[in-house]
Amino acid sequence: MKDQELVKRLLDEDADAFELLVKNTEGLVAHIVFKMVAIAEDRKDLVQDIYFSAYKHIKTFKFQSKLTTWIGSIAYNTCYNYLQKKKVLLIEEKQDEEMEEHGIETLANRMAEESGNEVLNKIFRAELRAILNTGIRQLPPLYATLITLYHYQELSYQEISQITNLPEGTLKSYLFRARKQIKDYVLLNYIKEDL
């Protein structure tokens, strides 16, 4: 269903349309909330707040982005405001570094290819995914969210910029820092132990 039709049905207070909206966006919302907020009880409340806000403000949707991006923006802003109230540090302040050419997936693929045998390759990829996920959990909330939106949700820089209201250059810099922190975590906690 196209965004225009779904919004029209939402404005007509069609309950089925709201269920469809939730179904179409729950993965994106869950990724944002789970990466930004550590406390499970608060996550549930935030998800309810996000969808209540979307329902309440659907009449303000201007079709300047995709509906899913708009919902993602509400989710991000809701979590951001929650973290601000809790005084949680969203990122670590570090000096800018050059942009990294390869993301986590490239790192995982490269390491898996070096393992040789196809069965070992599959096992290695599964283990590496688990290690990388542990590394992502070590990141500050904003970095973990950006990694998730870019690598798991496969959103473009432009879409992430619309969700987070961050300039694309800043996003690229933050993604670089996040990847570097994950890579450092993997190297420090796993690779050196195996050498």
| Residue 166: φ, ψ to 5° | -105, 145
What confidence score (pLDDT) does residue 13 get? 86
Task: Please give the residue that has the higher pLDDT: either 103 or 49.
Answer: 49
Query: Residue 96: pLDDT band by 50, 70, 90 thresholds?
Result: very low
Where helices occur in 37-167 by DSSP H, the ranges are: 40-57, 67-86, 104-113, 118-137, 141-147, 157-164
Residue ranges of the domains in the chain? 3-86, 104-194
Instruction: Please tell me the CATH code under which domain 104-194 is placed.
Output: 1.10.10.10
pLDDT greater at residue 49 or residue 1: 49
Across 42-67, average pLDDT = 91
Which CATH code is given to the segment(s) 3-86? 1.10.1740.10
Closest CA to 145 of 76, 51, 94, 70: 76
Q: Taking residues 74-82, report their average pLDDT.
A: 93
**Position 123: which residue type?**
I
pLDDT band at 102 (very low <50, low <70, confident <90, very high): very low
Residues above pLDDT 90, as percent of the chain: 43
Segment among 19-28, 56-65, 112-121 with least mean pLDDT: 112-121
Residues 3-48 pLDDT 10s: 889 888 888 888 899 999 999 999 999 999 998 888 888 999 999 9
The residue with tokens 């132990």 is: 193
The confidence score (pLDDT) of residue 7 equals 87
What whole-number distance in Å separates Cα of residue 74 and Cα of residue 70? 6
Instruction: Report the pLDDT averaged over residues 129-137.
Output: 84
- Which tens digit of pLDDT belongs to each residue from 153-183? 889 999 999 999 999 999 999 999 999 998 8
